[in-house]
Structure formats: C-alpha cells, structure tokens
Amino acid sequence: MNNNSGLNNTISRENVLDIIFENSFDYFQLLRNDKGIYRDALRFDGNHFHPASVATIGMGLISLCIADQMGWISNADSLAELTLFSITGQDTNFFNPDRNLKGYYRHWINMNDGGQAWNSEYSSIDTGILVASALFCKNYFNLNSLNENIEIYVDSLWHSIDWSASIQNAQTGGIYREFNFQGDGLSNSITLPFNEYMIVAWLAKNQEYENNLSSVANELWNNFYEHPDSLPKIDYGGISLLTDNPNYYLSSFVIQFTYYLCNDFSTNEDYIYYMSNARQADSLWWSLETNIENFEWGLGAGSTISFGYHADAIESNLDYMVSPHIIGGFIPVYEEGKINLIDLYESNTGVYNSDFTDTILWRYNIFDDLLQVQDISGVDYSTMLFGLATLNEYLGSDFFSLYNTFNQYLLGDVSGDEEINIIDILLLINHIINIDILMEIQIQSADFNQDGVLNIVDIVQIVQYIINH
C-alpha cells in the first residue's frame, strides 16, 4: 500500500513528476482489454472483477492523446480507433454496448460483450463524459494523425444521441440523470446546476446549434451556464464556491471534470476564477480541520476505508481520505500542486505499489496510513494524468482547451470542405481584414490555436499544418 519503504530514495525531485505522470498513463493501459474497453477500476489484490465504465472509456481515449503527444507509445491512434470501433457497436458480434432508443449508454457494461452490468442505469453524465472525450480524441487526431476512422466513428457516436432528451426544465436548469429504455428521463433522477452535468448541457446546446435550432437546451444554457453569475453559490471561509445546493459543498472533482471536458468552462476566466476558489477552499478545509502537512489535501471521490465509495467534500469526508489526484487536477490553477505531489512521493505518503502497477499516488486515510483502500477507479484517477499534462514542462496549459472544443468541422477547415488548404487561409485573411466576415462555426474552425482570437498566429499555424501534412 502507501508508505512503501522499498521506494528508490535516489530518485531526484526533478524525476519524480516524470514517474508519476507516465505511471498514471500506464495505469489506464492496465484498465484496457483487447477490445479497447476500459475497466471501471483495478483492485490492489489483483482480483479485477469490475465491469467496464462508459465514463472511464472516455477518459481512456484522452489518455491515448496524451501518450501520443508525449511520445510514450507509437500506436495511440490505432488503439483509439479500436476503442471507438467497439464502443460505437460497429460490429455487434464483436461488441454490442447496451444503449436506449435515444442513444444513452448504461453506466457500467460488460467488458467482453457490452451488455448491462451491475444493474446499472442509462446515464446522461456517463454518456456525456464518453462523448466529450471522444470529441476531444477526434480533434486531437485530426491534427496529429491520418486515421480517418476515428473521425467517422466519433461522428457516428455524436449523431446517434438525442441530447435534448436530457433536458428536464430549462427554467430550473433540470437535467435528467437516468432514462428508461425508450429514452424518457426518470422523474426521480433530476439534477440542478451547478455540477458536472454542465457537460451534458454543453453537448445539448451544441447539438441544437449544429442543427440551426435554438430551443430548450440553449434556453437552459443561457439561463444558467452562459455565465457563472447565474449559478448557485456557497461560502467557505470567505471563499465563494459554485454549488448545486446552497446548503452543501461539491466534491472537487466536479469542477475539474468540467474544466477538462467542457471548452466553455476552460476558456472562460470567470469559471477559472471559481476553479481557483475551489482549490483554495479544499486546502483551507484540511488546514482548519486537521494538523497534517500542508502538502496533504484533496477532496475527491473513490474508495474509503470504512464506507465504500464516497465523493468527499468540505464537511463530508467520512474517513478523512486525502485524494492526491485532486491535487493533480488543480494544477491548471495551482502549479504549486506539483510540489505537493513530489512531497507526497518523497515522504512515502499516499504511495501505492502492487504486482500489476508501478508507483502511483492514491487515496489514503490520515489517521492510519497502514490501512489500504481496495481499488483505484479510472474515472476519478484521470484528473491526476490530465492535470500533470498541463504543466509547461509537458504539454502546456492550453492542451485541453485546444482539443476539448465542440467542432464538427476540422480545426483549420474554415470552408467546411473537410480539407485544409489555401482556400481556408484566404477565408481567414479576408475575415481579419474585414472583407468577408465568417460565420460563427467558421470562426471556431479558423481559431486554430483556440485562444478566442483570429490573427496572424492562426494563419501561421494553418500554414505549418499544411506544410507538415
């Protein structure tokens, strides 16, 4: 478990992050089977009985993009293609995922055939995480690979889901969490803003936009998510936090998931402000409630010692579990978090080794570090990998905002003809000098570096892409 005395004490501080980062990707590879499907969790005793998690499959797709960009593996696009082939049911004799008539997936599915597992529900958020991750994967490999099947499979996935079915009430912000087989939302499964279901609202809004509609999804978005001022707040220690209930605090993974998967969050400075606030409140709670080291904090989700799976939050951390993956997930707004991770590693705190995985940092109880949790869940651990990727020494802070955009066009394909060439450059130049103004969706495609501004930088990067391809 943690506090493993067998750690190599000769490893330099500079190399610790490299180890944690690459081992985090290796963990995702261990979740994967020969059909490209990712297991929900691995158990430290080696008894890996968990079924597949649709959300973890999505996170696994993003892990392949990171590994490709880092040069850790050379076949990332082929691996992503296989995952998308399977999860979209291209050959139902090979893999046939259980979905309802509106396209929503079960939360958990069988690793080998895609059937319902653990009596799980048809889930909007798990489907949303899968699709947002698949769109990320498509955008990434469109710019970094010649694998056309990835785009074909992701487009088929995107068009197979009716996201408007997830909207319960645009006036209250209600979104259905669960559905029946017909695709009707269950009345006892409604969630209100703000939480990770912002991802679902974002996908529904973009589907309407793509279809030239402005209906309930856009109404809900404009009422609540267009600006965080419209969302409920709760105060902790003088820090204003987003919440879905003014009487309760959210687990820190909520705001991290929306940052990594929703472009309208990750490119909005007002939302980034609240992510920074969430980081401050998280570490403040630990300093006020415990006397542990200041590098020990993180209110996340995962296994506990005594209460099974739990999403920890301020005033709701039953086992006083520290979640190092939350420290990693906050790196985009708190780069000092990398020092906290190094300190955890060097003090052998929260360090796990096993027969099947190299050294990683995971959840531990502050009162008895000899007790171990039984498993490590992929969807939760993803924020460790994602956060470390945003460090400047690795992929940089704009890696996620570059690829988590919703864009049914290829970035750089301003004309929409599915090719990037001189025509796209001329259209962009004419827009910049006010000869012929682009439509909104063209502007999204022309903004090659996804910084929200069309200028000479986008022209140069499109030219470089054409030269390199």
pLDDT digits 0-9 by tens, 275-308: 999 999 999 999 999 999 999 999 999 999 988 8
Give me the pLDDT at residue 7, please. 47
Give me the pLDDT at residue 142, please. 84
Same structural domain, 60 and 156: yes
Enumerate residues 6+ apart whose C-beta is below 8 A from 359.
Answer: 4, 7, 19, 20, 23, 345, 351, 352, 353
99-124 per-residue burial string, b: 16 or more CB within 10 A, e: under 16: bbebbbbbbbbbbebbebbeebbbbb
CA 136, 139, 144, 149 dihedral sign is: positive
Q: Does some domain include residue 226?
A: no
Are residues 66 and 395 in contact, defined by beta-carbon separation less than 8 angstroms? yes
Choose the final residue of a domain: 102, 126, 161.
161
Helix residue ranges, H only, 10-147:
13-31, 54-70, 76-87, 124-144
User: Residue 254: pLDDT band by 50, 70, 90 thresholds?
Assistant: very high
Burial class (CB in 10 A: 0-12, 13-18, 19+), 437: exposed
Give me the pLDDT at residue 409, please. 58
Q: Residues 290, 291, 296, 298: what is their CA dihedral angle, to the nearest 10 degrees?
A: 10
Same structural domain, 113 and 77: yes
In this predicted structure, the answer to whether residue 357 has a pLDDT above a threshold of 80 is no
CATH of the domain at 444: 1.10.1330.10
How far apart (Å, rounded) are the C-alpha atoms in residues 375 and 309?
A: 10
Are residues 437 and 427 in contact, defined by beta-carbon separation less than 8 angstroms? no
Give me the pLDDT at residue 4, please. 43
Give me the pLDDT at residue 287, please. 97
Same structural domain, 248 and 363: yes
Give me the pLDDT at residue 413, please. 87
Q: Residues 86, 88, 93, 97: what is their CA dihedral angle, to the nearest 10 degrees?
A: 90
Same structural domain, 254 and 346: yes
Same structural domain, 243 and 362: yes
Choose the final residue of a domain: 129, 161, 193.
161
How far apart (Å, rounded) are the C-alpha atoms in residues 195 and 243?
A: 7
Same structural domain, 314 and 351: yes
Report how far apart, in Å, the C-alpha atoms of 148 and of each of 136, 240, 417, 463 are.
15, 45, 15, 21
Are residues 241 and 234 in contact, defined by beta-carbon separation less than 8 angstroms? yes
Same structural domain, 432 and 468: yes
Give me the pLDDT at residue 356, please. 65
DSSP 8-state secondary structure symbol assigned to residue 308: S
How far apart (Å, rounded) are the C-alpha atoms in residues 440 and 80?
A: 30
Q: Does some domain include residue 68?
A: yes
Q: Does some domain include residue 212?
A: no
Enumerate residues 6+ apart whose C-beta is below 8 A from 52.
Answer: 37, 38, 39, 40, 108, 109, 110, 111, 114, 117
Angle separating helix axes 337-346 and 13-31, nearest 10 degrees: 90
Write down the residue that tokens 């936090």 correspond to: 241
Q: Does some domain include residue 169?
A: no
Same structural domain, 263 and 364: yes
CATH of the domain at 261: 1.50.10.140
User: Which residues are paired to 24 by β-bridges?
Assistant: none
Same structural domain, 290 and 422: no
Same structural domain, 25 and 38: no
Average pLDDT score, the chain: 93
Domain residues for 144?
32-161
Same structural domain, 259 and 280: yes
46-66 mean pLDDT: 97
361-384 mean pLDDT: 91
Specify the number of domains making up the chain: 3
How far apart (Å, rounded) are the C-alpha atoms in residues 3 and 7?
A: 9
Give me the pLDDT at residue 256, please. 98
Give me the pLDDT at residue 3, please. 40
Q: What is the pLDDT of residues 409-461, one digit of tens each?
A: 568 888 877 689 999 999 999 999 989 888 766 887 899 887 889 999 999 99
Q: pTM above 0.75?
A: yes
Q: What is the pLDDT of residues 110-167, one digit of tens each?
A: 999 999 999 999 999 999 999 999 999 999 998 787 789 999 999 999 999 999 999 9
Neighbours of 90 (CB within 10 A): 14
Are residues 178 and 165 in contact, defined by beta-carbon separation less than 8 angstroms? no
Same structural domain, 368 and 245: yes
Angle separating helix axes 253-261 and 198-210, nearest 10 degrees: 20
How far apart (Å, rounded) are the C-alpha atoms in residues 274 and 333?
A: 10
Choose the final residue of a domain: 161, 188, 208.
161
Q: Does some domain include residue 427?
A: yes
User: Residue 45: pLDDT band by 50, 70, 90 thresholds?
Assistant: confident
Give me the pLDDT at residue 460, please. 94
Host H or E run for residue 303: strand 301-303
Neighbours of 15 (CB within 10 A): 12
